[in-house]
Amino acid sequence: MGKERGHGRGFGKVILLGEHSVVYGHPALAVGLDRGALAEATHLDDGPSQLSIGSWSTEADSESDLGLAFAALLRETATTRAVHVRAQTDLLASAGLGCSAALAVAITRALLSLRGIEATQADIAARALAWEKVFHGNPSGIDTNIATRGGCLLFERAHDGPRIEALPIRAPLHLAIGYTGQPASTRAMVEGLARLRARKPEMVEKSFEDLSSLVGNAKLALLAGDLVGLGQLLDLGQMLLSGLMLSTPEIERVCKLARDAGALGAKLTGGGGGGCVIALAESSPEPILDAWAQAGFSSFAAEIAPATRPIDAGREGKEWTLR
Ligand code: PMV
């Protein structure tokens, strides 16, 4: 049975380890953030369907990427009546925090809920991928899966569908997330690495295998609550990503400021080439946030709780309703 209004939510995320190699079938670890996206869908008397995100508006199939991505989600959810979807996000765009996937998942959920359709998390993530393909070309699917489920996921792309393991974190992770001030295009970074891989396949494959080992060890560190070990793995991950030409002087600077302020480890997160850095704090992330603020970098703290939060649980201190 259809409804008058459909609502949906998607989580933001950071990739702890395994970005880029995950595109080529290697495992990666990601955690969901409390920040994310919300969407509300209502029917229109006639078409075309409209999407508003904050102050941006577009019509389905308009010649913009946003219009094409919206049209893809209308097709994926078999939405045939005209709709108006209003969405909002508190994530920085083009910063490695999964803003686009969080919006895709929130909109997919809102469209399905408007039609009264219940879908599994795997199904929602798979449908939302159609939006990501417009923006990113060859997405691994890690972003839409973590945006759908939240929590802490070990993700591996495979031909017969992704392999996903929800990891029960032992100790809370206190993350500081710093913005380099440089927006970056995930598509451009993925394409740049594909060119490097074509020129130097052995070097890139070796790095991917090393990243895979780091992911395996990080899983063990998370399960054991070994934060010092996890921090060292993040630093090693940053070295490997830097060797793949995915870092920038600003990323290195933000990482160094964090380590000097006591971070257990720091690295870029997501596509790289700018965007955000994650730093693991032993307990309070405040000294890291202060060091970044003094150097002029904006940032925020994220605590990843041991228990995987169920999707509909809301969050303390903030109502998940559209403004
Ligand atoms: O930059 P983001 O937040 O879209 O993360 C991209 C992660 C990559 O591994 C670089 C790409 C992908 O599709 O997995």
Q: 314 — alpha (psi -120 to 50), left (phi > 0) or beta?
A: left
Cα(178)–Cα(62) distance, integer angstroms: 35
pLDDT digits (tens, 9 = 90+) for 57-90: 999 978 899 999 999 999 999 999 999 999 999 9
Q: Considering only CA atoms, which of 22, 115, 32, 23 is closest in space to residue 76? A: 115
Asked whether 235 and 221 are in contact (CB, 8 A), the reply is no
Rg (CA), the chain: 19
pLDDT digits (tens, 9 = 90+) for 222-275: 999 999 999 999 999 999 999 999 999 999 999 999 999 999 999 999 999 999
Please report, as a single letter, which amino acid is at residue 32. Answer: G
Ligand 1 proximity of 12 Cβ (cutoff 6 Å): no
Give the residue, out of 99, 143, 144, 164, with the most ligand 1 atoms within 8 A of its beta carbon, to mutate for a pocket test. Answer: 143
pLDDT for res 318: 36
Give 301's DSSP letter. Answer: E
Contacts of 80 by beta carbon, 8 Å cutoff, 6+ apart: none
pLDDT digits (tens, 9 = 90+) for 171-188: 899 999 999 999 999 999
pLDDT for res 315: 34
Q: Which atom of ligand 1 is nearest to the CA of 189?
A: 10
pLDDT at 322 over 80: no
Ligand 1 proximity of 20 Cβ (cutoff 6 Å): yes
Ligand 1 proximity of 22 Cβ (cutoff 6 Å): yes
Report residue 218: phi and psi, to 5°. -65, -35
pLDDT for res 1: 62
User: Strand pairing partners for 163?
Assistant: 156
Q: Considering only CA atoms, which of 88, 310, 215, 33 is closest in space to residue 207? A: 215
Q: How far is CA 86 from the centre of its chain?
A: 21
Contacts of 57 by beta carbon, 8 Å cutoff, 6+ apart: 50, 51
- Sheet with 276-281, side-by-side order of all strands: 265-268, 276-281, 173-179, 299-304
pLDDT for res 316: 28
